[in-house]
Amino acid sequence: MCKFNESIPIYIEIIQKMKADIVSGKPKCGDKTPSIMEFSEN
């Protein structure tokens, strides 16, 4: 699971990780957004 920074709200950290994944090209066109549980496991 992801390690979260206690000084930053979790929802902000999730948004930042999703943005980084999108910029890196990890999700492909048509991919579904993972659930929070799936997202935190990666």
At residue 27, φ and ψ (nearest 5 deg) are -80, 140
Write the single-letter amino acid at 5. Answer: N
Does residue 4 lie within any of the structural domains? no
Position 1 in a domain: no
- pLDDT value of position 9: 92
Q: Cβ–Cβ contacts within 10 Å for residue 39, how many?
A: 15
- In a domain, residue 29? The reply is yes
Residue 2 located in a structural domain: no
16 falls within a domain: yes
- Structural domain including 19 reads 10-41
Report the chain's C-alpha Rg in angstroms: 11
How many domains, the chain? 1
Inside any domain, residue 25: yes
pTM across the whole model: 0.62
pLDDT tens-digit profile of 1-42? 567 788 999 889 888 888 998 899 988 888 988 887 887 776
CA distances in angstroms from 35 to 7, 39, listed in the order given: 23, 6
